[in-house]
Every structure is written in C-alpha cells, then in structure tokens.
Amino acid sequence: MEPIALALGIVLIVLVVWDLFETIVVPRPTPGWFRIGRYLVRGSWRVVRALGRDRAGATRDTLLGLFAPAMTLALLGAWLGLMVLGYGLILFAIRDQLSPSPQDLGTTVYFAASSVLTLGFGDIVAVGAAARAVVVVAAVSGLGVVALVVTFLFSLYGSYQRREVQVVTLQAAAGAPPSAVTLLETYARLDLVDRLPGLFAEWERWAAEVLDTHVAYPLLGFFRSSHDNLSWISALGTVLDAASLVLTTAEGVPRGEAELFKRVGSHLVEDVTNLGFQSGISAGLHLGASQPGLGRSAFDQAYARLAGAGYDLVPGDSAWRDFEAARAAYAGRLEAMADYWATPTNSWLDSAATSSSPAHMPDESAE
C-alpha cells in the first residue's frame, strides 16, 4: 500500500463530501476553515469582475450575467473532479487488488472516473474486497453528487424567479434605475397612497424570503436581473428609502407596515454583508446617509417633490435629521453590496432616471 496516496485520497473525499453537505444540504450559512465552493466562487468572481472593467456596457453585463449560471456547472465539475482524483489516489494505494494492476496514477484515476460516472467499461476489474468496496462507494458517490446538484439548481432558480417578480413589478412605479421619490410620486399621482401599507407588507414578505434563501445559498447574490438597470439590491434600497421617507417625512400615511418592512429589510442587508465577502462589502461599511449625492441638498429636492405630489410633510429640518438617522442603518451596506456585485444602485434623484416615465420598460434587445 501507499499510505501517503491513501491519506491524500481520503482527505480529498472528506473535503468534497463536507463541502457538498455544507453548501447544499445545510439550509443556513456555516463557518469553515476550508470550503472548496466558497474559494472557487469568490476567486472566480474577482477574475470576472477584473475582466468586466475593460468591457463596454452590454458586453460587461453579459459577462457578469453568465457568471452565476456558469459557476453552478463549475461547482459540479470541481466536486466530481476532486472526487475522481480522491478515489484514484485510494485505488492507487491498493492497486494490487485491481486486475490488471495499474502501474501509474493516471490509470487508476481513469478507473476511478469510470466508477464515479458509472461507465463500467470492464477493462479494469476490482478483485479484492477493499477495492470492490471503494468502487461501489465511488459509484454511489457520483450518483449522489449529480442528484444533489440537480436539486440545488432547482432550488436556486426557483428562489431567483420569485425574487425577480417583485423587482420587475417595482419598475412600473419606481422607474429604472428605481427611485424612492419616483415611487412615492407615482402612488400619489395615481391616487394609490392608501395602498402604500400593502406595498410595504408585500416587500416585508419578499425581504424575509430573500433573507432566508440568500443567506443559506450565497450564490444567489451573483444572479443578476434579466432587465436593464435593475437589480434586487437597487429594488431593496428603493423600498427601504421609501419606507424611511414615510417614517420620517410624510404625514398622514400609516407607518406600521413601513416600520416592519424597514426592520426586516435592514436585517436582510446586515446578514448578507456578514456572509464574509470582505473584498468589496466591508470597504463600504463606513458610507452612510451623508454619502455625496445623498446629502441635505438632495433631500431638499426630494422634500420639494413630495410636497408637489400632495404629501403632508413634517418640518424640513426635523425630517432631515430623522431621515439621515434612519438611512444610516442600511445605506452604506447597500452601496457596498452593489459595488461588490457590480449591480445598479437606486437612482434616488438621478435626473436621467426620474425624468422618464416610471412605467417605461427598458429595451431588452441589447442584452
């Protein structure tokens, strides 16, 4: 026997099984000193983002949009490849129990691959008890990995589709990129102010589901919207800003649902940024409501637009203090999340976005 090859093979198999268990089976974030999928996803994302910086807008969006689907296949390939290598090392250590006995590692890796993928060509046969046990376990493992990844894909895409329904629906009222001020103006213009509590209640449920799924399966954060100038991060920021304006600036609008949504939404932002994406998210945590472009002058413009839309407003100085404090709980983290995932942020008072009709849907022919 070759004890070093045997030990390395066992270690590889254990690492793959543990990573599969932590990534797919356990429905919550799990710490770990070494996770194959985690390092593969984050390392690859750094490379793709670097490549995307030098691309034009449509090409860049296409490149970044392909990342998450491609990574699901890359994870399957990595798990199967490492599993094949692990079983190959184990079989190499007990190659005297194979007929004909392989003389090199490459041949045992080939035999391990045919076992894991259940091809069974029969050119090499396990004749010893230990080798037969390894071959049977390898075949079961291969089938199990494929079954788990297929289940994982269905779960990912189901969660992604449910997330995007709310994001796309918001565009009709908030524009693209979405704006909290435009959202509130649209509801006032269409005489739907009494439906704002229902909007916040819907987004409270949406935030709870995204919190559950995106924290359990962080790869979901890399899935981008299929529509231009939209993202789940910008949609979340828009509705959080709208809730903060209702809580601090507008009078006569029921505030209970807005407060509940803001609590759940802020919890979502905090938990996602605590997942450990240190390269991008942590760099922006010092940002807050005083960020350039969202200072007092921007708030005064929003205040004037809300007054023009017919809202009863609290005095400006008091509203600004309260709004700044409310937004500081989530704004910096949201901007850092948008920077890490290279997604559009909410436009707030961007003239190019807010001057157009909020019901305008983007031209998708460029995608």
Q: How many domains does the chain have?
A: 2
| Same-domain pairing of 244 and 336 | yes
| Same-domain pairing of 141 and 183 | no
Across 141-149, average pLDDT: 91
Residue-level pLDDT at 50: 85
| Same-domain pairing of 145 and 199 | no
DSSP class of residue 224 equals P
Residue-level pLDDT at 1: 58
Identify the top-confidence range among 109-113, 174-178, 289-293. Answer: 109-113
- Is residue 17 domain-resident? yes
Q: Minimum mean pLDDT among 47-56, 191-200, 274-283, 310-319: which range? A: 274-283
| Same-domain pairing of 190 and 141 | no
- Is residue 155 domain-resident? no
- What does 88-124 look like in DSSP terms, one character per residue? HHHHHHTGGGEESPPSSHHHHHHHHHHHHTT---SSS
Across 122-135, average pLDDT: 89
Residue 33 reports pLDDT greater than 70:
no
- Is residue 170 domain-resident? no
Burial zone of 17 (CB within 10 Å; 0-12 exposed, 13-18 middle, 19+ buried):
middle
| Same-domain pairing of 60 and 207 | no
- Is residue 154 domain-resident? no
What is the domain extent for residue 35? 3-149
Residue-level pLDDT at 32: 59
Residue 291 reports pLDDT greater than 80:
no
**For residues 121 and 75, what is the distance between their CA atoms, to the nearest angstrom?**
26
pLDDT band at 280 (very low <50, low <70, confident <90, very high): very low
Residue 342 reports pLDDT greater than 70:
yes
Residue-level pLDDT at 284: 45
pLDDT band at 347 (very low <50, low <70, confident <90, very high): low
Asked if residues 113 and 140 have their Cβ atoms less than 8 Å apart, the reply is: no
Residue-level pLDDT at 268: 94
Residue-level pLDDT at 263: 96
**Mean pLDDT, rounded, of the chain:** 84
Residue-level pLDDT at 309: 93
Residue 81 reports pLDDT greater than 60:
yes
Residue-level pLDDT at 353: 37
Q: Which among 149, 166, 187 is the end of a domain?
A: 149
pTM for the model stands at 0.82
Q: Per-residue b/e over 254-272, b at no fewer than 16 CB within 10 Å?
A: ebebbebbbebbbebbeeb
Q: Tens of pLDDT along 193-235?
A: 999 999 999 999 999 999 999 988 888 999 988 777 789 999 9
Q: Tens of pLDDT along 88-112?
A: 999 999 988 988 888 889 999 999 9
- Is residue 163 domain-resident? no
| Same-domain pairing of 79 and 126 | yes
**For residues 257 and 43, what is the distance between their CA atoms, to the nearest angstrom?**
40
